[in-house]
Structures are given as C-alpha cells and as structure tokens.
Structure 1
Amino acid sequence: MPNTILILEDSKTQARIVGTLFEKNGYKADFAHDRFEALHKLNSRGYALLVLDVFVGEENTLDYLHMYRKAAGDAPIAIMTAGKRDTPLAGSQALNKARRAEVEFLLPKPFDINDVHQICAEAERIRRRKGPVKRILVIEDDAHSRIIYRSYLEDEGFYVAESNSVEDALVRLEITRVDAILIDLIMPGIGGMTGIKVISATWPDVPLIAMTGYTQNPDNLHNALARGAISALAKPFTKDVLLTEVKKALSDDRTVVL
C-alpha cells in the first residue's frame, strides 16, 4: 500500500479530520483506534507513513514506539502532539521529545493542510532515498550558499534539510531527526552564536559544525568551539573541506578542531 498512511487516533472524529488532510495531499488514509489494532495492521501490510497521536486512551504512544518502529519497517513516523509552535523554546522542547523518541516528524496540534503538505513532501523524499542515510541539517540565511552546500552533501549521498535561521529550524515540522548540523554564525534573529546553545539543547548528541565568512574576527570561530561546536570553518571553503569535516563529525572518533 505505497500511497496509504496509517493514522492511530482514538477519537474517530479527529481521525477522520486528520485523514481528510492527508487525502487532500494524495494519500489514502487507513485508521487504527488502539495500539493492538495499529500493530496488527502494521504487521499485515506496508504503509507510506505512520501518524500516531501521543495519547491514545490511557496510553502514551511514545512508551510503545519501539514496537511501532519495528512493525513499520522503513516507513517514517509522525507524532501528533498538543505542543505549541509559536516560540523557539516551545519548538525546542517538542523537538527534544521527538529526538529522544527517534521519530521523523512532529505535528503539533492544531495543524492545517499546509503542515500536512510539508510532511507529505518530506516523506516522499525519504521514500525515494530507499534506505537509511545520514541526515544533515544546514542552517544558513544565504540561499545561494544553501544550494551549494546541499549539492556538495547530496552528491556524497547525504540527506539534507535546510533552514534559513535557528528559529526556523526549531519549528519546521519535517526537521526532527538529524545526524550532523552545519550552522552559520552570522544570521538574522538569535544568530548562530547563541543558536549553538539552543541547537545543542535540542539535539544534545548531534555534532555541530560552525561556519562564518567574517574571518576578520577570528574570535568568532574560537567562541563557536567554546560554545559546543566540534569544528569551525572559515568561508569560503571547498567541497573537499566540507565533506572531510562532516565525515569526521559523523565518525565515532572525533575531536574538537579549528
């Protein structure tokens, strides 16, 4: 059932509402109203996406996520939560929970057709990749630079997600699981220097590579390392330099370098 999603929601009314949003994005919706029905269906057929409400009856779905993950196979998982997305802190807290639960997407309630479209598009990208790959998040306000870095990384087989600010990265529904992060230091909003601390709280075990073009102030790079980046790159840098640092960051044996 490549275009069918499974929605676990104990309220039949809410399940139909959610199902309609996904159907408007080209999917067929199947429903389960408790854990046993959901696991039975997952073990009986394949789905393109699994959408789970956090609280189903008296149960917390995250307590059984290992079961859903095993039964779902390669299908990505979206968690519907009651969290708020109007502040970076709320987004960070929600992402922390999702990161620990190893889910691909968050759908903070109330969500709308645009939120669902965003997740459907990203789920399709994941499905086209066919198999587990390392996921790199690039936080960079310059669109041209993001295109270049994405090209470099995708040529090497990485999956790339992009944000134009730290705030955007914290609330984007499709950015939950990441294996390494590239972050520009000079950006609008809270910026990369403060953002390193915020990002590190969101993804505490994910290696972070800082980068900046303002090399006339070398303290920027040193300060980034002091705040938690494992590497700091002065722009412009070559494809080889970027890939070397990313692979080093993803390795088990890594040290902080400048």
Structure 2
Amino acid sequence: MCSEEVLSDQPAGRGSETVATRQSILVLEDSQTQGNLISKMFVECGADVQLVSTAREFSMSPDLFDQKFSAAIIDVHFGEVSGLKLIEPVSRRWPAIVNVMMTANSTDDYAVLAEARNLGAHLVLKKPFDKVRVSDLLKDIESIQITGRPRQHVVVIDDSKTSCRIATEVLRSYGYRVSGFQTGEDAIRQLNFDHVDAVLTDLNMPGMPGEELICLVRDVWENIGIIAMSADASNKTRFKEADAFLPKPFGAEELIHTVGGVLAKDVEVLDC
C-alpha cells in the first residue's frame, strides 16, 4: 500500500483530502531502470502509468497520442533532448495536462527548473523520492485539476533538525504541502523555481540569518507570506518586517492558527 499523510478533521490547506481521482500518468524518463521504479511507485499509489524512454518513441508512436493523460512527469535531461523542449508539445497534445519537471536535484538544475516554470511546468519532482512523495504529488495534481493551482505550499527553515521536522510534520498533517530546509541558502534555491505561498523561518541561524532571508524574500517575492520564529520574545517588537511572529516553543494549534492567518490575508509589501 502507498504511504499517505495523516490528515486532520479540520483541513487547513488546499488538497487536504486524499486523492479521489485515478490519475493517468505519462512518464518521460530515459533510464529504463529508473523509469520502471518510478512507474511502480505511481502504480502502487493508485495511478495508471505509461513509460516512454526515448524521444523517438515519444514522437513516433501513434498509439501514445491516442491516449488521455492527466499529468506528464518529464525528466529534465531526457537522453539527448532537454525536457524543456517537451513541455510545449506535451501541452499542445493534451491541453489540460499537468506538467511535472523531474530533476536529480543537482544545483546545476535550478536555472533550468526556473525556466521550466516559465514555460508552463506546474510542479517539480526531485530525485530521489519515495512513495510518500509520489502520493503527495498526486494530491497536488488533483488540486490543480480541481482548483487550478496546487495545494498551499509552506517552506520551513530552521537549523534545528528537530524543530524543522516537527513543524513540517504538523503542517503536512493539516493538508499543506511543506518543504523543510536547515539553511536559508537552500530555501532560496527552492523559491527560485517552485511556487511558494508562505515562509516560516527561524531568525537565529548560521550562514544566512533569518533577518537577511526575510528581506530578500520580501524584495524578490513580495506576495509570499512570512512568519518569523524565535525563542527571543523581544524579536516580536524589534523585527517587524515579517507578517507574523511565532515565539518558540509553540504548539501545533498555535502554528496552524498563525500559518492559516498569514495565508488568509493579502501580504503587505514592506521595506527592508
């Protein structure tokens, strides 16, 4: 059975319900071994899958274009062909399809993935991934089909592994899509190519401090909600560039209430 998130009786994020529609997935992966593993995970999560391993097979198979697909999982490096060049023909043949760019998570791919988003890619799937991530992705695909956009995406940044993990698990249990990072630098790379609705960041971190990260996010992505976390309560009045302040330690109810409040209102652009 596919692993699924534990969901609350009071969903807060879009797509908090389990996947109800059986998806038909087109996987464009040039490695037959990886393609088979990926296909197996999607099938075990309740999807139908068609694997294509070469550009020739994609362009020359009449049976393929007669099929109906709800989503395409496109490897960024599809053999000798850039996955970017496949977004347009895939979207032209299946206008309602959800395009997902798949990457090996190399830092060299960030600029490529940013371009993929501009070309019409809806989501990003980073290798390696497991069935839990596949189940999560299927929920986002269904959310796009129903609402026109993926579930609300919250990025959590905390250099404490324990704090980051707990906040991530709580938010996921309420139906949010969540990405957790332990450095501001890694989080910024995520924001560069992936849609993000809110950032929850600790203020005191090595490397890029929370204050600098918040100012950068506000300057570049002005519509993203920002929540600052700190064990120092004085930061609540000293540092006002964030949309909300969450004192540490905090409980699950306080976390969900704060995130929900920030996502429910328009974010005011503030000067840093």
TM-score under structure 1 length normalisation: 0.63
Q: CA deviation at 1:77?
A: 0.3
Q: 1:213 to 1:69 in 2, by over 3 A?
A: farther
Q: CA deviation at 1:207?
A: 1.8
Q: Which amino acid counterpart does residue 74 of structure 2 have in structure 1? A: V
Q: 1:157 & 1:144 partners in 2: Cα distance?
A: 20
Query: Alpha-carbon deviations, 1:50-98, whole Å to 9, x = none?
Result: 20558969x855667865784425xx601569x9716xxx84x556445
* Residue number in structure 2 paired with 1:116: 127
Q: 1:117 & 1:147 partners in 2: Cα distance?
A: 19
* Residue number in structure 1 paired with 2:259: 246
Query: Matches of residues 25-64 of structure 1 in structure 2 within 5 Å?
Result: 25=38, 27=40, 29-31=51-53, 33=55, 41=64, 44-46=67-69, 49-51=72-74, 53=76, 60-61=85-86
Partner secondary structure for residue 6 of structure 1? strand
Structure 1: gaps (5+ residues):
8-14, 107-114
Which of 137, 141, 145 is the equivalent residue of 2:155? 137
* Residue number in structure 2 paired with 1:111: none
Which of 17, 20, 34 is the equivalent residue of 1:21? 34
Q: 1:141 to 1:41 in 2, by over 3 A?
A: farther
Verify: 1:230 aligned to 2:243, yes or no: yes
Q: 2:112 & 2:215 partners in 1: Cα distance?
A: 16
Partners of 1:231 and 1:256 within 8 A in 2: no
Q: 1:209 to 1:240 in 2, by over 3 A?
A: same
Q: 1:143 & 1:220 partners in 2: Cα distance?
A: 26
Partner secondary structure for residue 224 of structure 2? coil
Query: Alpha-carbon deviations, 1:209-252, whole Å to 9, x = none?
Result: 22122334556523xx0xxx322323223333322322222225
Partners of 1:52 and 1:61 within 8 A in 2: no
* Residue number in structure 2 paired with 1:78: 101
Partners of 1:180 and 1:208 within 8 A in 2: yes
* Residue number in structure 2 paired with 1:10: none
Q: 2:264 & 2:194 partners in 1: Cα distance?
A: 21
Partners of 1:102 and 1:177 within 8 A in 2: no
Q: 1:43 & 1:2 partners in 2: Cα distance?
A: 16
Query: Matches of residues 98-117 of structure 1 in structure 2 within 5 Å?
Result: 98-100=116-118, 101-105=120-124, 116-117=127-128
Q: 1:168 & 1:39 partners in 2: Cα distance?
A: 42
Q: 2:103 & 2:91 partners in 1: Cα distance?
A: 17
Q: 1:156 & 1:39 partners in 2: Cα distance?
A: 43
Q: 1:172 & 1:243 partners in 2: Cα distance?
A: 22
Aligned residues: 227
Identity across matched positions, percent = 21
Partner secondary structure for residue 131 of structure 1? helix
Q: 2:130 & 2:219 partners in 1: Cα distance?
A: 24
Structure 2: gaps (5+ residues):
1-21, 41-49, 144-150
* Residue number in structure 1 paired with 2:146: none
Verify: 1:127 aligned to 2:148, yes or no: no
Q: Which amino acid counterpart does residue 131 of structure 1 have in structure 2? A: E
Q: CA deviation at 1:33?
A: 3.1
* Residue number in structure 1 paired with 2:187: 169
Q: 2:181 & 2:51 partners in 1: Cα distance?
A: 30
Partners of 1:51 and 1:79 within 8 A in 2: yes
Q: 1:178 & 1:37 partners in 2: Cα distance?
A: 37
